[in-house]
Structure 1
């Protein structure tokens, strides 16, 4: 039941395999608790295992994630949106979440880029709801995330051999100073939104999986919607066209959204080089050159 490829994920060499070794028992006890029957082959990403299951009232999936702050935050995010544009959380216990069944292998990567950008922008707007008082106050803000990155960006840029012109670094830091003020109304924000995180569904056409709840400006992650599909945008004109599709669908201010793209692209470029990535920094170079 545990795919060998999941056991080969890099995190287990770093974190140890104790949780991984307990997975079969966790699946068994979760199925007993919720009266489930395994009904398909498990799939996984780098950190979570997803097992198709069924019971008398329908089809679901078990999502199993190692304990930690990320897992707690994901449960909080799903509870906050409560199925509004996101996969519905049916129940949770220990390291297992019982979720509504979406269609695996049918993410937005399977649709043309124009359509995907429109859906992503519309999803950004739909998730941008004000939180009831007290519910979201402890959630990280986009302004604080920018301020935190600004504190280290120049040092990283120098350490990495000045990978892009200093003028673009200065521009990113000037933009960051504006974005970190947090003067805009604070709304719920998904801090990890891109084509691979949106799957076909039955209850609605498309639903978000693995949302990251933040508060602040909803175009915080707009750059990621572009750079994850940048290989399908062969020219600067096509990049701008797809940027405009997202902005129009999300109903955001074009200049402010452009600022978010510039800052987050410079940020991710540096992070990607630090992490040893190769393709993503090249995509960031193309994206930053366009704006």
Structure 2
């Protein structure tokens, strides 16, 4: 095992970020990663590839193989509470429309390897939207127990709007508050991928396109529409283009237009405030364009 430990090098940028965010506990977790990864390699019968590890803000991904099959070992920071839910959702989907889960333990997932260089962002927006909308319908299966329902977003909006100096025009906030109470329990109650954007659908070999990094919830599938609107808003050159994209997503996924519009308005206001809270400028502008086109 010591030989495998020496081959597992945590990227410096990732280590620095975890130390910046979590202080001593982040440094301790990063220091533990090589030995933990080596243990999992042994227990799960894996061979470490020579490819460079990938990482996000909270996740380190190692390239591995088992019996010749390319896989990835995903290790999540202790503060990332989504790993258990992700495993529940992936087991329920069982590879139908999503990356396949082969093994799991708290904070660690062994997944089939997809192509991280080819997401739906590499396709024209209309083609990408059709594929994403079909995935919404594919993933809408009976939800397994143990997952949270949809968040009560609207309840948080007035205080956040006031605290930030009211960056969102009042008419959009009023519409979001009007939709809010009726959205949580309306429509189908199915398993949904609550972070389904174009970057979270990657090319695979088992199936052409598969969703990754789910945040599984149970509720109405219309909840997934807003991210597919704002995520490629820069590719939509007019308000009419935005309206056409919304109509296309609704039609292909077979969703309720009014319920989808309610989630678009509510989640766009929420994301606008989220971006403003963090000093971002691009995401609030994208949300504004979507809102002007659909609710203006």
TM-score (norm 1): 0.91
For 1:242 and 1:167, locate their aligned partners in 2 and report how far apart those are by CA, in whole Å. 23
Match of 2:66 in 1: 55
* Pick aligned residue for 1:129 from 116, 119, 141: 141
- How far off is 1:95 after superposition? 3.1
* Greater mean deviation of Cα atoms: 171-180 or 60-69: 60-69
For 1:38 and 1:62, locate their aligned partners in 2 and report how far apart those are by CA, in whole Å. 9
* Pick aligned residue for 1:36 from 46, 50, 56: 46
Q: Deviations over 1:128-154 (max 9, x none)?
A: 0123xxx33x42222xx13xx222211
Match of 2:176 in 1: 172
- How far off is 1:29 after superposition? 1.5
- How far off is 1:25 after superposition? 1.1
For 1:276 and 1:219, locate their aligned partners in 2 and report how far apart those are by CA, in whole Å. 28
Q: How does 1:1-291 map to 2 (within 5 A)?
A: 1-9=9-17, 11-15=18-22, 16-39=26-49, 40-67=51-78, 68-131=80-143, 135-136=144-145, 138-142=146-150, 145-146=151-152, 149-180=153-184, 182-291=185-294
Which 4+ residue blocks in structure 1 deviate beyond 4 angstroms?
none
The question of whether the paired residues in 1 share the 8 Å contact of 2:83 and 2:108 is answered with no
For 2:187 and 2:259, locate their aligned partners in 1 and report how far apart those are by CA, in whole Å. 11
- How far off is 1:86 after superposition? 0.7
The question of whether the paired residues in 1 share the 8 Å contact of 2:53 and 2:60 is answered with yes
SS in 1 for 2:191: strand
For 2:115 and 2:21, locate their aligned partners in 1 and report how far apart those are by CA, in whole Å. 31
* Runs of at least 5 residues in structure 2 that lack an aligned partner in the other structure: 1-8
For 1:98 and 1:196, locate their aligned partners in 2 and report how far apart those are by CA, in whole Å. 20
Match of 2:4 in 1: none
The question of whether the paired residues in 2 share the 8 Å contact of 1:199 and 1:206 is answered with yes
Question: Kindly tell me: are residues 227 and 48 of structure 1, through their superposed partners in 2, closer, same or farther at Cα, counting changes over 3 Å?
Answer: same
- How far off is 1:94 after superposition? 4.7
- How far off is 1:262 after superposition? 0.9
* Runs of at least 5 residues in structure 1 that lack an aligned partner in the other structure: none
